[in-house]
């Protein structure tokens, strides 16, 4: 697989990563199987995937335990990315950016992941009660201590402005500029897909100008852009999509032209809609690495195959001409 270089420290990773969250959190928990997930990780590694993205809050904690188990004997093949800064309660999620907590969270992640070093340690969300510079300084100390190789910031789902002219990632960019003064940012994780391209307007130009990598989260639109979801099919109660405005039966039906367009292009290339959607993300810059989630081996291998798909100018024009996705994403 093509390798891409991200961050000022020149971190080299496979062009397509693997999002591990669906294996144990947020999506159809009745379909989650530990042994199958381990096989999925192994299949991804065999296909050239290196970047595995997890977080301590996924589960919570069970996703890191799963990835630690999957990487026994194969740690050297993986680029391991995890996150800190969010705590999961019974009914809510809260941020904790206190330096002492960050240090304890890192040690706990290292134990669960069964590794001596985390390749990319990401701040999941900034704590509004703690200056982000203090949190980032504690994370930088982990690099000095040899527990972490590089630092990243997660901006998934960021919605900064509400008024006219406000940009989606204004708040994230302000945070990035603040922490960049403390320690270099190697990567930013943010939602980016054919039906959620807002990061192209502000975040990607900022990252490109500074050599910061972009980990494209939800590049398959939480599964919608694969063309495997049927409008009105329903989701399990604990599936995050069951409460999402874009996954109502009405909106899933209204957005079918987007999938139909990807399918037309896929047929010309002997590919799948998912691979076309990922190839579009890959085409947004050499520093962009899509991180699609997968629970099954076949999907992980299919996603990895997108690294070899090159879209033509005609393909890109056709995608640009697709209808804008309907339904609030807030």
Model confidence pLDDT, tens digit, residues 219-248: 999 999 999 998 888 888 888 888 888 999
Query: Quick check: 161 pLDDT over 60?
Result: no
pLDDT digit string (tens) for 172-202?
Answer: 999 999 999 999 999 999 999 999 999 999 9
Residue 326 vs residues 185, 241, 279: alpha-carbon distances, Å: 33, 15, 22
Q: What was the pLDDT predicted at 163?
A: 41
pLDDT digit string (tens) for 286-297?
Answer: 999 999 999 999
Query: Quick check: 205 pLDDT over 90?
Result: yes
What's phi and psi for 234, nearest 5 deg? 80, 160
Query: Quick check: 209 pLDDT over 70?
Result: yes
120 within 8 A of 147, measured Cβ to Cβ = no
Copy the structure tokens of residue 291. 């991180």
What ranges do the domains of the chain cover?
3-219+281-308
Query: Quick check: 97 pLDDT over 80?
Result: yes
The single-letter DSSP state of residue 80 is E
The structure's pTM equals 0.94
- Residue 269: CB atoms within 10 Å: 15
- Residue 175: CB atoms within 10 Å: 22
66 within 8 A of 37, measured Cβ to Cβ = yes
Q: What was the pLDDT predicted at 327?
A: 84
Q: What was the pLDDT predicted at 38?
A: 96
Give the percent of the chain with pLDDT over 90: 81
21 within 8 A of 62, measured Cβ to Cβ = no
Rounded Cα distance between 161 and 168, Å, is 6
Query: What class is the 3-219+281-308 domain?
Result: alpha beta
The single-letter DSSP state of residue 81 is E
Query: Quick check: 160 pLDDT over 60?
Result: no
Query: Quick check: 284 pLDDT over 80?
Result: yes
Residues with a known catalytic role: 58
* Mean pLDDT across the chain: 92
Residue 13 makes CB contacts below 8 A (sequence gap 6+) with 3, 4, 6, 50, 51, 79, 289
The pLDDT-based confidence of 33 (bands split at 50, 70, 90) is low
Rounded Cα distance between 62 and 16, Å, is 24
Rounded Cα distance between 19 and 216, Å, is 10
């Amino acid at each position: 697989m093509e390798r891409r270089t991200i961050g000022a420290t020149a971190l080299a990773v496979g062009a397509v990563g693997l999002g591990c969250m669906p294996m144990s959190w947020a999506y159809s928990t009745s379909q989650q199987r530990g042994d199958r997930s381990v096989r999925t990780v192994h299949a991804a590694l065999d296909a050239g995937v290196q970047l595995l993205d997890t977080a301590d809050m996924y589960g919570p904690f069970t996703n890191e335990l799963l990835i630690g188990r999957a990487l026994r004997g194969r740690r050297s093949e993986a680029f391991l990315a995890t996150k800190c800064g969010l705590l999961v309660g019974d009914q809510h999620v809260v941020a904790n950016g206190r330096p002492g907590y960050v240090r304890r969270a890192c040690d706990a992640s290292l134990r669960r992941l069964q590794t001596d070093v985390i390749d990319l340690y990401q701040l999941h969300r900034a704590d509004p009660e703690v200056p982000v510079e203090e949190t980032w300084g504690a994370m930088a100390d982990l690099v000095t201590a040899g527990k972490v190789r590089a630092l990243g910031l997660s901006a998934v789902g960021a919605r900064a402005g509400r008024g006219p002219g406000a940009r989606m990632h204004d708040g994230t960019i302000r945070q990035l500029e603040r922490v960049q003064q403390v320690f270099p940012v190697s990567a930013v994780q943010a939602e980016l897909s054919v039906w959620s391209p807002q990061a192209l307007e502000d975040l990607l130009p900022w990252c490109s100008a500074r050599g910061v990598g972009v980990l494209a989260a939800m590049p398959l639109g939480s599964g919608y852009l694969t063309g495997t979801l049927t409008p009105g099919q329903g989701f399990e109660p604990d599936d995050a999509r069951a409460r999402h405005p874009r996954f109502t039966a009405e909106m899933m039906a209204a957005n079918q032209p987007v999938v139909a367009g990807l399918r037309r292009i896929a047929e010309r290339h002997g590919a799948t809609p998912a691979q076309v959607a990922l190839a579009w993300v890959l085409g947004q810059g050499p520093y962009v690495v899509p991180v699609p989630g997968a629970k099954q081996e076949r999907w992980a291998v299919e996603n990895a195959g997108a690294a070899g798909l090159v879209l033509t100018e005609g393909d890109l024009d056709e995608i640009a001409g697709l209808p804008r996705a309907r339904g609030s994403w807030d």
